[in-house]
A and B are shown apart, each in its own frame.
Chain A
């Protein structure tokens, strides 16, 4: 009896420490919830949140570098009581394209190559989500991260412009047009870099390849455009060449439809018809990237 009592007392004291296995009978939120969770985890990951301190450095730094010129421009505009901002909203992303390229080159492999390299992908596919859910979540997350990166400085410019009491209507229109443009840019860049990054489990290769495709293609295309401009000034040739790099594609689309001033050498801009071709190529690349990603992950499986 005495023993029983003492063990009963002992059990009372240790009860909170000694919990046996408990079954889970709460809700299971299924596929859509899992996809959303993967989206938010990937989006946070794109800025190093929920990851090590080391992996926060680069994305945060690039974010600051991206916004800093906007802050300076706003400060100048306010101080000098200028009539308009020093740059157009739509021009900002084109000027900062190297930073954007660096960001997406570092974060696209982070998002998909790691899962391939550490073979985490099978763990996802042994859960309720399907290939399409994984691809959509990853694509949407990187595109959103890019949109945050490219839209934040625009917001800084816009708020600054309003503080400087610049023309409200003009500023709002420019801001809205630029938002559409960077949304398109985010989708395009995210798609292209995810396809490249998903092709290799090696992060280093992924980074190098994305930089090569985005930045070098821009460099090459604008150099050739500049030469063409200097030699013949053939507007058509210059515009068509713009189809061959992501940055110039976006430039062409926004010049044709979003009230931007062309940054093609010589200021040549696409006509409406050429603009439509630019837009179709952008949409085709976005759809093609999605298709390629689906194909890639259907093969990975377990």
Chain B
């Protein structure tokens, strides 16, 4: 109940097919270019499921994917994908891994079917299997009759689906999705995020998805890795993120009994020991209450309070986090750590 209220309808960890196996493991992985250090002693373990890789542009996300595909040698350190060393087993890794690039990569003058069949064969699927898997995969990503038309006439959302389909067509064990929501409108974003979630829950394929929007990944991923300047900033399960940092926004209706519904809720919450934040300066200030969700019980508490007062709950949503907040948090944590240490 509480889960559904807070929008987390996903069942985390239910479809884990590999047990406790790590899908990706890096050990003090570094990549230095003549003038730039793209990755700086990055050590991170990624398990099965959907993992978000968050970082600003130039944080080293794409470099990491390149190394993990065995296409670019690391300057230092080592990495394993599906238990295979990237330095020596690149070909074997690429056979079992799918990759969806950030940029456009589709020729406009062929149909989605032709293109994906070709890509399936490039992954080693025999001709008949390539055609069958293409039809299946395109259907699963939501492309139907249009798949016979040239890609040039597709919308951005459809193109993203074709890109996803070519990454999934050979039924990989893991896919790297580089900024899959780039250029999509809000509805398209939500659809793509839902699709990514399904790649794991329905298809049983682990996902590493990059984005520069943390909030977006929070809703989709089981685990989030944040890198900045090639360094690991944070790696934790999404549950930890939501438990420690979620800010809830609440909006309620007014009734005759409580002409100022918002104020009534604020007081009632205060009486139960939950303080609300100052929401002035935000759009809809005065009608929106902000509070920190300590965990699932907070959602229940809000629901109960609103129900007791007989008000209508117009909205209760998680405020999206920007990556800056993680930086702020981690700065604070670092300071705390230094404080404790000293």
Contacts and interface: CB of A to CB of B under 8 A. Distances in A.
Interface of A: 19-24, 26-31, 33-34, 37-38, 41, 50-52, 55, 114-115, 118-120, 122-130, 301-302
Contact of B71 (A26, A34, A125): A125
Interface stretch (B75-83, B116-124, B213-221): B116-124
Given A26-B125, A31-B91, A120 B106 contact: yes
Interface string B142-158: 00000000100000000
Nearest to B106: A118
B63 to A, nearest CB: 10
B123 A34 contact: yes
Contact of B99 (A50, A55, A126, A129): A126
Interface stretch (B24-32, B107-115, B186-194, B228-236): B107-115
A29 B101 contact: no
A129 B97 CA distance: 13
Contacts of B103: 119
A127 B123 contact: yes
B299 interface: no
Contact of B124 (A21, A28, A50, A55): A28
Contacts of B133: 24
Interface residues of B, number: 41
B223 interface: no
Contacts of B140: 21
A236 to B, nearest CB: 50
A158 to B, nearest CB: 34
Given A31-B124, A118-B107, 16 more contacts: A21-B140, A23-B204, A24-B125, A26-B126, A34-B123, A37-B122, A51-B109, A55-B109, A119-B105, A120-B106, A124-B122, A125-B71, A126-B69, A130-B91, A302-B69, A302-B72
B150 A52 contact: yes
A30 B126 CA distance: 10
B19 to A, nearest CB: 17
Interface of A is mostly: loop
B105 A23 contact: no
6 nearest A-B residue pairs (beta carbon): A24-B171, A126-B99, A37-B121, A28-B124, A29-B124, A21-B203
Contacts of B202: 20-21
Nearest to A23: B171
A26 B170 CA distance: 10
A115 B136 CA distance: 25
20 contacts: A23-B204, A24-B170, A28-B95, A29-B125, A29-B126, A33-B121, A33-B126, A37-B122, A50-B114, A51-B110, A52-B110, A118-B104, A118-B105, A119-B104, A119-B105, A125-B71, A126-B99, A128-B124, A302-B66, A302-B71
A52 B115 CA distance: 13
A220 B274 CA distance: 88
Interface string B47-72: 00000000000000010011001011
Nearest to A27: B126
B195 interface: no
Given A24-B170, A24-B171, A26-B129, A123 B71 contact: no
A115 B126 CA distance: 23
Contact of A120 (B105, B124, B136, B204): B105
A81 B313 CA distance: 99
B94 interface: yes
A55 B66 CA distance: 34
A128 B95 CA distance: 6
A122 B125 contact: no
Nearest to B99: A126
Contacts of B123: 28, 34, 127-128
B121 A34 contact: yes
B211 interface: no
A23 B202 CA distance: 11
A120 B101 CA distance: 10
B166 interface: yes
A211 B27 CA distance: 52
Contact of B101 (A20, A21, A50, A119): A119
A185 to B, nearest CB: 29
B124 A301 contact: no
Contacts of A123: 99, 101, 105, 119, 122, 166
Nearest to B176: A126
Given A34-B123, A41-B118, A126-B99, A301 B107 contact: no
B71 A28 contact: no
Contacts of A29: 124-126
A37 B62 CA distance: 28
Nearest to B98: A126
A118 B166 CA distance: 15
Contacts of A114: 107
Contacts of B171: 23-24
Contacts of B203: 21, 23
A30 B106 contact: no
A3 to B, nearest CB: 24
